[in-house]
Structure 1
Amino acid sequence: MAAFAPTVVICIDHASVTGGQAKVAIESALGLAAHGARPIVFASAAPVDERLAAAGVEVVCLGQHDLLGNPSRAAAAIQGTWNQRAAQALGELLARLPKDDTIVHVHGWAKALSPSIAAPIRASGLPRVYTLHEYFLFCPNGGFYNYKKHELCPLEPLSAACWATACDAVNYPRKIWRSARLTFARDYAKLAELFSDYVCISNYQEEIIGRYLPKGVRLHRISNPVDAEDLGRKSDPASGDYIFVGRLSPEKGAFLFAEAAARAGVTPVFIGDGPIAEELRARVPQARFLGWLPPAQVRAHMRAARALVFPSLWYEGQPLTVMEAQAMGTPVVVSNVCAGREEVADDETGLWFESGNAESLAGALTRLKDDALVARLSAGAHDVYWRDPPTLDRHVERILGVYEEIMSRRRLAA
């Protein structure tokens, strides 16, 4: 049990695991509770993860739709711009908490909570911190990525060229709305300026967003927690499949993997689902599609795989899939422009390839037909990961250190 045990209000769009962002927020809450702190999860969208109640974690969930799940586009647009109900409920929550040992930690706002959370957080006067899982604070579509051209976007966010560019995954009107929302969040809510401290989840991520952060903020590097068991080195590392785990969408590089696998003469295996699933099945009938699987089954497939292929075309934050695969002793083939490359030592724990280049990825897959190379990379992946594993306990210890630093500065300034 930690001697320092603050009350932590964790703000997140969803109260259940819908992706890496929610997964980290919820598991952080569970870890904080186990260390003796008092986490309170404040979320907009239901359902609520059952583990939270089992661990005695207080949850304030508004039971709202997220923006994509709202049957009314007009209601979604209003909620996404200014979620008045969230602002009111968060204000009521913060008002009843002790002022001397409470901190507000925001993990996400763009999918349901909206910039409205800035008002009650600012009014509370409580210390606060923001974890940069993605880039919605600085980029209208959250990724510095052109979803129409399927390439990284070099434009200055909210510049004239940015406003004029149809880069949204859905359509140009949604891009305009998102640009207006970011302008509102920046100039009216002043959401980014609200935080004195930011948590960055990879060094590469810091390179991407460093110039957009408000002046004078403190940046803390804390890895996401990974739930894994040390199973030792693989006894037969060169068996198994080339697997892809994640959302089947263009920016994740699923089409690229399919094309490269065909060139290399290997069978791609897809674990996950998404908007391009049917098109992938039509294009690549020889591929295997396993859909979404429970976490334990995903880890079993990772353990059995010859390699995990992570061909993402956008920056990412810190892909948990890459780390989970290496914990299983599985080499990772990773794009050289996404943050996942930071976890992979080229030719030591996996292979890098040139982002968006099917021939380069095919070359990496072909190299991995060499059993001796796979065995060497597998041993390297396992050993490097378990030398300093990013466990939940370590994550919580480090985040508690950040909380304590913030509160100490606040007491000194009083």
Structure 2
Amino acid sequence: MHVVILAEFAVPSGGAEKVALESAHGLAAAGHEVTYIQAVDGAVDPLLDHPRLRRVCLGLHDAWTRPALAAALSGIWNRTAAERLARALAGLPRAPDCIHLHQWTRSLSPSIFPVLFGTGAPVVLTLHDYFLACPNGVHYRFDRDEPCGHAPLSAGCVAAPCDSRSRAHKLVRVARTAALRWAIGPRRLHVVHICDESRVRMGSMLGGYALEHHRVDNPVRVTREPPASPAAGDALVYVGRMTREKGADLVAEAAHGAGLRALFIGSGPLEAELRGRPGVEVLGWQTPEAARAVLRQRARALAAPSRWFETGPLTVYEALAAGIPAIVSERSGASEKVRHGAGGFVVAPDPDALAAAVAALADETRAAAMGTAAYADFWARPMTMAAHARDLSLLYDSIVPNRSCAAQQSRGPAPVGAVPDTRDLNIA
């Protein structure tokens, strides 16, 4: 089977790209022919170096690096993105059996959807966020620091000053969401939910689309090693962007109350504020390998107390795989993987609830027992790249129509390895 993976970057700048890269590598390792199309030129992760994987770059610009007006217009409808994507797909030596999209908001825009549907191949979109329905993508009121209660594109939604940047950004995003609804229209779109709660919540927000819903766990790039020793850890660790919606401020408060260090890996708007608090240590962004090493050496527990309905923070699963207890928000999709009171705690995203969980883990015996349970739970049903590729293969097999076989035959046999004249092709 020939699978096209479409994402905006070829490095893990966020969770969506990380999953896209690991999916591409896992599918190639499982024997599929994979074409990875990246929208924005730049660095390339070594995961894409595989003999059954070709890479195509569209040479587009990240909207965040462009002047405001140009970024706004291209965000609503990027004609160049559609044209270059159409050329890239037409130039492949073999028609895709399936196209899997992971991110489209920073360079591609809704303009790509008619191009994708025009291939005749099933189109799959993983819902890493809420952009398919919600203009700001997280269904969260940044002006109130609370989840949003409005129906997407309702009068209340359009009027709400909920964007993390400005009212002007909100209006642009409203226009983009309207363009998205028009671009998809009545066409059948396969959506992948990465947690059960997302399927329930998003199902009520997506009434205007013809969707097929699927459930596949995200992959976690881990190998099985002996479990860590959380009882020896001296810190409550937070990994990711330091923002209020992710609850970074709650971590600092809870750790201080329990007599632990609050150790932050990452950066973000709250970084300066957090650095000024007692007992806080900020390491900045680290490589995945360095972050995992810090977790194993320093973590009594990992904390992810999101205030927004986060779909599935990968750092939680990485901690569980290492035998480190996780304290997660009840609003997070990761809560489905944490047995409350066994491998960690599922709590409300407020200071008192988080502080009580951290205080319980101050007991070394309990921290050790919870680490053992976390490790056993994860490896009983591991969310590895191989498991992810297996589940995606089953999904693709169920949706690829028989007529794709005839299309493959008309284009010739599938290549055994990489195709030299299309590998690392730049369409720009």
What is the TM-score normalised by the length of structure 1? Answer: 0.92
Residue 35 (1) aligns with residue 19 (2): no
Q: Secondary structure at the match of 2:65?
A: coil
Distance 1:86 1:265, change over 3 A: same
Q: 2:152–2:205: 8 Å Cα contact kept in structure 1?
A: no
- 1-side partners of 2:127 and 2:290: how far apart? 29
- 1:16 and 1:46 in contact (8 A); partners too: no
Question: Match for residue 194 of structure 2?
Answer: 201
Aligned CA-pair RMSD: 2.0
The letter of the residue matching 1:391 is T
- Contact 1:7/1:101 (8 A) holds in 2: yes
Deviation at 1:190, TM superposition (A): 2.2
1:368-392 Cα distance to aligned partner (Å, 9 max, x none): 1111211111110000101110111
User: Is 1:54 aligned to 2:53, yes or no?
Assistant: no
Distance 1:89 1:307 in 2: 46
State the partner residue of 1:3: none
Matched residues in 2 for 1:256 and 1:376: separation?
A: 25
Counterpart amino acid of residue 64 in structure 1: L
Amino acid at match of 1:66: D
1:312 alignment counterpart: 306
For residues 174 and 65 of structure 1, do their structure 2 counterparts lie closer, same or farther at Cα, with a shift above 3 Å needed?
same
Cα distance in structure 1, aligned partners of 2:73 and 2:210: 33
What is the percentage of aligned positions where both structures have the same residue? 38
- Whole-Å Cα distance in 1 between the matches of residues 202 and 403 of structure 2? 26
Instruction: Answer whether contact 1:331 1:378 (CA < 8 A) is retained.
Output: yes
CA contact (8 A) 1:52 1:59 kept: no
Could you list the per-position Cα deviations for residues 217-276 of structure 1 after superposition, in whole angstroms to 9, with x for gaps in the alignment? 332211111111222334563433211111111111111211222333332111111122
The letter of the residue matching 1:210 is G
Contact 2:188 2:212 in 1 (8 A): no
Residue number among 217, 232, 238 corresponding to 2:226 in the alignment:
232
> What does residue 384 of structure 1 align with?
377
Q: Which residue of 2 aligns with 1:360?
A: 353
> Are the equivalent residues in 2 in contact too, given 1:10–1:42 (CA < 8 A)?
yes
Q: 1:273 to 1:184 in 2, by over 3 A?
A: same
* SS at structure 2 position matched to 1:43: strand
CA contact (8 A) 1:327 1:386 kept: yes
**For 1:196, what is the secondary structure of its paired residue?**
strand
On the 8 A contact 2:97/2:404 being kept in 1, the answer is no
Matched, 1:134 2:150: no
Closer, same or farther: CA 375–172 of 1 in aligned 2, 3 Å: same
Residues in 2 aligned to 1:59 and 1:53: alpha-carbon distance in whole angstroms: 8
CA distance in 2, matches of 1:27, 1:46: 19
CA–CA separation in structure 2 for the residues paired with 1:365 and 1:37:
45
Shifted more, 169-178 versus 271-280: the winner is: 271-280
Between the aligned partners of 2:242 and 2:389, the Cα distance in structure 1 is 31
Name the CA distance, whole Å, in 2 between partners of 1:235 and 1:338: 25
Equivalent residue number for residue 18 of structure 1: 13
Q: Which runs of no fewer than 5 residues in structure 2 stay unpaired? A: 408-428
- AA of the residue aligned to 1:359: D
Q: Distance in 2 between matches of 1:202 and 1:328?
A: 21
Tell me which residue corresponds to 2:414: none
CA–CA distance in structure 1, aligned partners of residues 111 and 47 of structure 2: 25
Residue 103 in 1 paired to residue 92 in 2?
no
Query: Within the alignment, does 1:210 sit opposite 2:206 as a pair?
Result: no
The structure, 1 or 2, with the larger RCO (C-alpha pairs under 8 Å, 6+ apart) is 2
Cα deviations by residue, 1:263-312 (Å, 9 ceiling, x for unpaired):
33332111111122112213x14310111111111111222311001111
- Aligned equivalent of 1:301: 294
**Range with greater deviation from structure 2 (142-151 or 401-410):** 401-410
Q: Does 2:262 align with 1:268?
A: yes
Secondary structure of the 1:263 match is helix
What SS does structure 1 have at the residue aligned with 2:295? Answer: helix
Change in Cα spacing, 1:322 to 1:254, as seen in structure 2 (3 Å) is same
Q: Is the 8 A contact 1:43 1:113 kept in 2?
A: no
Within the alignment, does 1:254 sit opposite 2:241 as a pair?
Answer: no
Unaligned runs of 5+ in 1: 1-5
Tell me if 1:92 matches 2:110: no
Say if 1:54 and 1:190 are closer, same or farther in 2 by CA, change over 3 A. closer
* Alignment partner, residue 393 of structure 1: 386
Correspondence 1:334-373 to 2 at 5 A: 334-355=328-349, 357-373=350-366
Partner of 1:323: 317
1:43 is displaced (CA, Å) by: 2.1
Match of 1:45 among 25, 40, 49: 40
Q: How does 1:124-163 map to 2 (within 5 A)?
A: 124-163=119-158
CA contact (8 A) 2:255 2:358 kept: yes
**Counterpart pick for 2:78 among 52, 76, 83:** 83
Total equivalences in the alignment: 403
Is the 1:17–1:49 contact (alpha carbons within 8 Å) kept by the matching residues of 2? Answer: no
Q: Secondary structure of the equivalent of 1:251?
A: coil
1:53-109 CA-to-partner distances (Å, cap 9, x unmatched) read 522432222232212222x11111122111112101111222344777521111111
